[in-house]
């Protein structure tokens, strides 16, 4: 396991802008050039930004924009929390080889995601939108599962497979950190979870149809579909399949038989 804490250099850059007149020069010296390979891959290959996008954002930065985050990471041991979650996840599903995690501060980054970097998959944590870290360990376990799935089966997903993968990752985090309310594993408000639980039949086929047409049923809120409904559908399908077909066996059964189980579930969503 290797945990790369790039964000520390970002805060060094923030402290430097009080003395440096040229923000871009300070950004390059204290942050960007130190981690150029990773940041270039994430910003330009994954997010589709340009160097001008980054430069414009840097020139708009105020140190006060990150004061709350800086205080939060002083009180929360990100490196230890990451290590503990990965170790617990590995106890559920051992993964051979290196598990790389990059904790950084970017611009409009996903909170966590798995991307390809240097011919491998890595877990990425974009801190800029974090306000608290209550669910950080569960999120890390969720992404560990995505890391495993990508390493074994690749990251090319059709819309239905994306739903299934998210459902597996949610069920996996539930095994790593059992005993929480379901809505915590889906990173939803309790009221939204309760609404979907009572009305999923009303939205299910519209959501599947929209996903097949390339729509985002995970983060978007269009065509009258509730926010994050894709995660709810994935969790519902996978947890039900584990209970009814796998007879309560471990989530490892799902991961090890992923292709065949996907065929079953995709048939049900067709």
| Residue % of the chain over a pLDDT of 70 | 97
Supply the pLDDT for residue 221.
64
Supply the pLDDT for residue 116.
96
Residue 257 has pLDDT above 90, yes or no: no
Between CA 73 and CA 215 the distance in angstroms is 35
| Residue % of the chain over a pLDDT of 90 | 69
Between CA 229 and CA 225 the distance in angstroms is 7
Nearest to 185 by CA among 219, 151, 221, 134: 134
Residue 22 has pLDDT above 90, yes or no: yes
Residue 26 has pLDDT above 70, yes or no: yes
Residue 249 has pLDDT above 80, yes or no: no
Buried b (16+ CB within 10 A) or exposed e, 24-37: eebbbbbbbeebee
For 89, the 3-state DSSP assignment is helix
Supply the pLDDT for residue 121.
96
pLDDT digits (tens, 9 = 90+) for 94-111: 888 889 999 999 999 999
Least confidently predicted of 61-65, 99-103, 141-145: 61-65
């Amino acid at each position: 396991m290797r945990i790369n804490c790039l964000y520390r250099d970002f805060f060094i850059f923030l402290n430097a802008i009080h003395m440096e007149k040229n923000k871009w020069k300070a950004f390059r010296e204290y942050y960007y050039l130190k981690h150029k390979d990773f940041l270039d891959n994430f910003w330009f290959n994954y997010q589709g930004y340009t160097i001008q996008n980054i430069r414009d954002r840097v020139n708009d930065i105020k140190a006060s924009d990150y004061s709350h985050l800086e205080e939060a990471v002083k009180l929360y041991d990100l490196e230890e929390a990451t290590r503990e979650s990965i170790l617990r996840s590995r106890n559920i599903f051992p993964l051979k080889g290196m598990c790389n995690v990059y904790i950084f501060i970017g611009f409009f980054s996903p909170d966590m995601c798995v991307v390809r970097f240097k011919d491998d998959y890595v877990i990425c944590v974009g801190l800029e939108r974090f306000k608290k870290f209550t669910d950080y360990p569960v999120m890390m376990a969720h992404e560990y599962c995505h890391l495993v799935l990508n390493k074994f089966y690749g990251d090319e997903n059709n819309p239905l497979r994306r739903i299934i993968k998210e459902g597996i990752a949610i069920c996996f985090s539930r095994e790593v950190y059992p005993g929480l309310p379901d809505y915590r594993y889906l990173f939803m408000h309790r009221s939204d979870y309760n609404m979907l639980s009572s009305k999923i039949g009303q939205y299910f086929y519209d959501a599947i149809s929209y996903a097949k047409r390339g729509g985002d049923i995970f983060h978007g809120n269009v065509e009258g579909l509730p926010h994050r409904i894709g995660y709810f559908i994935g969790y519902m399908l996978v947890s039900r399949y584990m209970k009814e077909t796998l007879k309560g066996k471990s989530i490892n059964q799902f991961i090890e038989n992923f292709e065949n189980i996907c065929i079953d579930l995709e048939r049900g969503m067709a």
